Amino acid sequence: MATAINQTSTSEEILRRPPAILYRWLGDKIFSTVIVLLGSCIILLAVGMAWLLYTEGSMALEEFGFFGFLKGRTWDPAVLLEFGTWPFLFGTLVTSAAALMLSLFPAVAVAVFSAEYAPRWLAGIIDNLVQLIAAVPSVVIGIWGIFVLAPWLRDTIYMPVYFWTETNAPGMMPILGNPMGYGMTTATIVLALMIVPYTTALTKDAIKSVPAAQREAARALGATRWEVIRMAVLPYARSGIMAGAILSLGRAIGETMAVAMLIGNKNTLPFSIFGAGSTMPSVIVNEFREAVENLHVSSLLAIGFILFILALIINLIAAFITCKLSISGGQTV
């Protein structure tokens, strides 16, 4: 009882001290103002960037119409001054989607191995190596692709396939394209390699968040290691894995340097499997230095605006999937 009385008297004392209250009130105000300002900066930055890209690109969008610009197949900055982004949009979507499909299974497999099978020391090494791939600057991966991977792919895969097709299925030659080593397939393979770390990291997070009770329930039914993963772990983690894959797709769509170095940079359709192509980021990075015509600059910025929208849509889809499929509060929504 004595201590209780003491406590109340001291707390009353504190309450009665006016400067402290003023100080605390002021501190609170300052803190919340700073937080609100910083928080709104991010929003302003995002909105401002979108707005800037739109206004700067509006010249091209008005000249050709939004959908005209999207569907236009000609990109001619020299003679016709006609700009259409379809080849780049096509190149971006095809390389990114193919890279995602190529990387998804290995990425999930690495995550499952590191989370479920590998001993702790090995899992640590794997995780660090995977993170290392993500940390390598994309220009370094690009130069490795140019001097090591592309020639190797050309000699061991593209050329044999090309010669085989030449004798056995000449009709396929235009689809196959010129096997010079730099082109859609090489870019896709390097893209896949570059997004593996993201899918792996997000998948591993999702796997790690599966409650132990779920694994044990499967084990107690007499499930083997693989059956536990199939029955309890992967279904529970599916939303995380899907969201991870979609976010990796976002990375692939925006990846610039390595793709620009490896894709061959051909501005006109049709693209072929081995042959050169182009993506939206690669055309921006390749042409911004030489763009002197206002319409050319505006067209490049309009491509930036479309990329921005694409990224936004992908993030929204990822958020939607996380919401829709996630298992929370004992309810499957």
Partner 1 sequence: MKQNSEYLTANNLPRNFEITRDSIFTASGKNIRMETRNLTVKYGSKIGIQDISLPIENKKVTALIGPSGCGKTTFLRALNRMHDLTRIASVTGEVLLDNKNIYDPDVNPVIIRRKIGMVFQKPTPFPTMSIYDNVVAGLKLVGIRNKSLLNEVCERALTQAALFDEVKDRMKDPGMSLSGGQQQRLSIARALAVEPEVLLMDEPTSSLDPQATSRIEELIHTLKDQVTIVIITHNMQQAARVSDKTAFFYVGHVVEMGETKTLFTNPKEKRTEEYITGRFG
Of 299 and 326, which has the nearer Cβ to partner 1?
A: 326
Closest approach of Cβ 211 to partner 1, in Å? 8
Residue of 117, 255, 288 whose CA lies nearest to 188: 255
Rounded CA separation 101/26 (Å): 55
Closest approach of Cβ 242 to partner 1, in Å? 13
Q: Is 224 helix (H, G, I), strand (E, B) or coil?
A: coil
Q: Calculate the CA dihedral of residues 39, 45, 46, 52 and round it to 10 degrees.
A: 160
Of 44 and 125, which has the nearer Cβ to partner 1?
A: 125
CA-to-CA separations, 330 to 64, 213, 236, 247, 263, in angstroms, rounded? 52, 13, 12, 26, 47
The region that residue 65 occupies, defined by phi over 0 for left and psi between -120 and 50 for alpha, beta otherwise, is left
Closest approach of Cβ 329 to partner 1, in Å? 9
Closest approach of Cβ 330 to partner 1, in Å? 6
Binding-site ranges for partner 1 (CB under 8 A): 120, 213-224, 227, 231-232, 235-236, 238, 327, 330-332
Say if CB 239 and CB 326 are below 8 A apart: yes
Of 125 and 148, which has the nearer Cβ to partner 1?
A: 125
Rounded CA separation 126/30 (Å): 45
Q: Calculate the CA dihedral of residues 193, 148, 92, 287 and round it to 10 degrees.
A: 140
Of 33 and 209, which has the nearer Cβ to partner 1?
A: 209
Closest approach of Cβ 205 to partner 1, in Å? 18
Residue of 333, 248, 301 whose CA lies nearest to 51: 301
Closest approach of Cβ 203 to partner 1, in Å? 16
Closest approach of Cβ 264 to partner 1, in Å? 44
Q: Which residues contact 169 (CB under 8 A, 6 or more apart)?
A: none
Of 2 and 220, which has the nearer Cβ to partner 1?
A: 220
Of 127 and 255, which has the nearer Cβ to partner 1?
A: 127
- Sort strands 75-76 and 82-83 into parallel, antiparallel or unpaired: antiparallel
Of 64 and 236, which has the nearer Cβ to partner 1?
A: 236
